[in-house]
Amino acid sequence: MTRKYLPRRAATLATRLLLLALPVLGGAVQAADKPNIVVIFGDDIGMWNLSAYSRGAMGYRTPNIDSIAKGGAIFSDHYAQPSCTAGRAAFITGQLPIRSGMTTVSQPGGPLGLKPQTVTLAEVLKTQGYTSGQFGKNHLGDRNEYLPTVHGFDEFFGNLYHLNTEEEPEDVDYPADPGFKKRYGPRGVLHCYATDGETPGDDPRFGKWGKQRCEDTGALTRKRMETVDQELIQASFKFMDKAVAQKKPFFAWINTTRMHVFTHTPNQYLERCKQFTSGEDEHCAGMLQHDEDVGTVLKKLDDLGITKDTIVIYSTDNGPEHETYPFGGTSPYRSTKMTTWEGGVRVPMMVRWPGHIPAGEELNGIQSHEDLFTTLAAAAGMPDVRERLAKGDDLGTGVVKKNYIDGLDNLAYWEGKTDQSARHEIFYYAESRLQAVRLDQWKAHFYTRDGYYGSTTTLEMPWLFNIRQDPFESYDQAPGPRANLLQKKTYLFNRMTDAIVAHLKTFRDFPPAQKGVSLSFDQLKEQITKQAEK
């Protein structure tokens, strides 16, 4: 079978170094050691929904997204987190969400959000001369103190929640009382800019504005959802234009709303899906539109003449929510979003950086969203970000912040200077509970969850999988093979115990910034009790 993505790890080191030595051509190239950074996150998109992974098995193809892999590297073992908030927090902070407290989604007006002491990638890049913009879904807190423009970003234009929350006010049974929406409803799509001075005002629900000014551009209605990604992407283009005109390196984090439920797509995409799957296939329609949107971003870089001086990353926040037919995504891995099975956390990941990352790389090393934080910081000129933040660093602001960064620098792996990923372990958290651990090819489950809406089960004996031999975690279906593996490999739990103990010790010097929230009913009862006591 002909392979589109050649396994370049079989090439000699000399060949790789020759590729890396090729001159960088192009237009308005900025400082060679300060690449622009464009990170595109889809939402709830499964690996199989991208033809770079499925080879067209879903009927449709995603040529624009696939081109990032063709021009750079595609990853097989890249990990996000089980939920939207946790996955985004892992990337932008470089920390496991248990450290920032951003362990799962919060409701409109809820208390959960990024705390001032938690460092963001935008703050790190600012020390290297970058201007940063965030466009699209944020989901890291909707109070004014949590907005991106008071956490290192110079501009933010986007929504603050998942789509099913955004459209709640249009539900036929939504209370007609305006006071209900004012108290519990979602905010609109905000357009914010960081400012040098404090903006006066104290919203009774969302708090003081701080050093930012914001405009509410209106609700994210079902109709607006049809084209909101194009609206947000166009705003990112204006941000890029300004940065290039000022000759400043930029970081643009583009968070599309596709493919979170519920999907509202223009009819022409559903019509196109008739030839691939069905005229009712909302996911197909949304992916066709999403791929076109990504294509416009890549074309913009070409038009600006900065493609060869720009790192482009494509990934998503968590595994697909497969249960929500016909909106849900698809993954070959077991289970779904909100679980710590591979299907809940293993996600698509591609990166392109011409002249630095050889085209057509297939990388099978373990990597996580937290590693993107550290690797991008290194690419931008701060290879020692972990060490600096562990000791405490003011990042030029005069306010010292001390953070434990879980992310590892994988730049050498991306560039082909080593065949080994810097990461060899994954700690799988579901909200605030450590449920599983992976060390190289071995993964042990201590708790499992039966799908998005299922209950969590405490396992009397851990379930052990060889993720290389059984990547789909299927051997537990047969008690014999499962028991045989466990009895033969019991010594592995000594390694895992050592890794867990070392991991937990880091919390002594670096306690969590806040307690994470949970979607469990027990915590809901606790919150209701506290509100009743006020």
Tell me what pLDDT residue 453 has: 86
DSSP type of residue 475: G
Band of residue 372 on the pLDDT scale cut at 50, 70, 90: very high
Least confident of 14-28, 35-49, 376-390, 404-418: 14-28
On average, the pLDDT of the chain sits at 91
- Does position 523 have pLDDT exceeding 60, yes or no? no
**Angstrom distance (rounded) from CA 465 to CA 86:** 25
Q: Which residues contact 39 (CB under 8 A, 6 or more apart)?
A: 91, 251, 252, 253, 254, 313, 315, 372, 376
Q: Is 332 within 8 Å of 367 (Cβ atoms)?
A: no
Tell me what pLDDT residue 527 has: 52
> Crossing angle of helices 282-304/63-70, nearest 10°?
50
Element (H, E) at 16: helix 13-21
Tell me what pLDDT residue 107 has: 87
Tell me what pLDDT residue 494 has: 95
Of all residues in the chain, the percent with pLDDT exceeding 70 is: 90
- Does position 513 have pLDDT exceeding 90, yes or no? yes
Residues facing 207 on adjacent strands: 203
- Does position 85 have pLDDT exceeding 70, yes or no? yes
- Does position 169 have pLDDT exceeding 80, yes or no? yes
- Residue 401: name the closest of 130, 94, 196 by CA: 94
CA distances from 273 to 155, 320, 326 (A): 36, 20, 13
Band of residue 340 on the pLDDT scale cut at 50, 70, 90: very high
pTM: 0.92
Tell me what pLDDT residue 482 has: 72
Band of residue 263 on the pLDDT scale cut at 50, 70, 90: very high
Q: Which residues of 215-231 are buried (b: 16+ CB within 10 A; e: fewer)?
A: eebebbbeebbbebbee
Residue with tokens 């990337």: 91
Band of residue 522 on the pLDDT scale cut at 50, 70, 90: low
Band of residue 17 on the pLDDT scale cut at 50, 70, 90: very low
**Angstrom distance (rounded) from CA 112 to CA 358:** 41
Q: Is 443 within 8 Å of 465 (Cβ atoms)?
A: yes
Band of residue 486 on the pLDDT scale cut at 50, 70, 90: confident
Of all residues in the chain, the percent with pLDDT exceeding 90 is: 83
Q: Is 81 within 8 Å of 369 (Cβ atoms)?
A: yes
Q: Is 392 within 8 Å of 400 (Cβ atoms)?
A: yes
